[in-house]
Amino acid sequence: MNKKNKLTITLLSTAHFVMDSYSSFLFQLLPLMATKLHLTPAQAGLVPPTLTIASSLMQPVYGVISDRYLKRSMVVFGPLIAAVFLSCLGMADSLPMLMALVIAGGVGVGIFHPQGAALVSRAASAEGYGRHQGMVMSIFSSAGTVGYALGPLLIALIVGRFGLERSWYAVVWGVAIWLVMLRYCPPLERKERAADAPSLGDALRAAWAPLTLLYFAVVLRSAVSVSVQTYWPFALKSFGMTEMEYGSVLAGFLFFGGVGGFFGGALADRLGARRVSLVAMLLAAPLLLAAFSTRGTLSNVLLMAGGTVLNLPIPISVVMAQRLVPGGASTVSALMMGFAWGAGALMTPLVGMMSERFGFAHALAMAAIFPLVSAALLWFYPKDEQAALARAPEAVAVGGLSGNLKFEIRD
């Protein structure tokens, strides 16, 4: 891999780290904003789904725009838009203003991800025929996960020292990465297509069956991850933990999730994407079930282990989708990252309703079964070499990822 492609991967991974640090500001600031604006619980509850819709559920739309027009402006200006609007959340003086800032910032987060993933995938496969595509996507994905885990801490430090009204001080690192991206980010170049090459719509329809299996497997995995982030702190608080203590447990869950994502791609490159994803889901269920059924240090250790394997398939799922539809890398990346994550997040009220009846720990223990359903869906997903052969004609015609004909992944 030449220096240009290494620079692209490093740059996009760093930008992903910065971007996702802003996307988690809301969860730290929302209790403070609710007090400042005198929001009712119902009003405060409207804000996170709004961010989810703008940043995640809309990603397929952003991905289609990226695949059609292939402009680098979306990936370059995404960090700037997110930084400007999400760092100003503390300045909102009304609920409508808060919602407007969340929507605008969410758009910035959303437009970055599809094209960012496509650029990283293109750089990884430019010379290595996809050999290290999983590992590279793991680096990109894990950078975002670590940024997401550190975001609440970063904004808490700023607000704690300078006050809620000066949350905008956090704009600094977003502007800095924007300036670097403006100078060094390469374009997502359009590839020439053969005259008989299928359209993006035809390619998606041809791969609808495995894409559907993969999509719902990711949705269920995401539902568990978001449910843990949302409700386990309430359980820990009820067990007598302080805010700092249960905050540290949640940060550990997110951090080790990033570690899992980092190693997931490398394992997939060696052992097979489908196989690694399936085994990870089979391991995640008992680990999380045990974590929610125990207390103290043992519970925390099991939670970190469960988070590691639960998030291990995140970058793998993106690569699997890109290999099914190589000519629509941005679109399917958005489908597996933003849209699936958003759909999973919208399932968390089900866990909330269960918690009202059974308690937070028992509700999460029941949700820990979801990864087993994901594993069942992945069981019917084509083996890696079968998926590669099925999509090889399209890869040649579209020319989207030049190395897709020589997959090194085995299953």
Q: pLDDT tens across 53-70, in order?
A: 888 778 777 777 776 765
- With 80 as the cut, is the pLDDT of residue 170 above it? yes
Quick: pLDDT tens for 93-128: 999 999 999 999 999 998 888 788 778 877 776 655
Whether 74 and 363 have beta carbons less than 8 Å apart is answered as no
Which domains, and CATH codes, for the chain? 1-190 (1.20.1250.20), 195-400 (1.20.1250.20)
**Interacting residues of 301 by C-beta distance below 8 A, sequence separation 6+:** none
The confidence score (pLDDT) of residue 410 equals 35
The confidence score (pLDDT) of residue 392 equals 41
Most confident listed range (32-36, 279-283, 347-351, 383-387): 279-283
The confidence score (pLDDT) of residue 57 equals 79
**Interacting residues of 405 by C-beta distance below 8 A, sequence separation 6+:** 129, 388, 392, 395, 396
CA distances to 108, 227, 253 from 17, rounded to whole Å, are 14, 22, 17
- pLDDT band, residue 343 (cuts 50/70/90): confident
User: For helices 384-398 and 273-293, what crossing angle results, to 10°?
Assistant: 120
- Residue with the bigger pLDDT between 227 and 329: it is 227
**Interacting residues of 201 by C-beta distance below 8 A, sequence separation 6+:** none
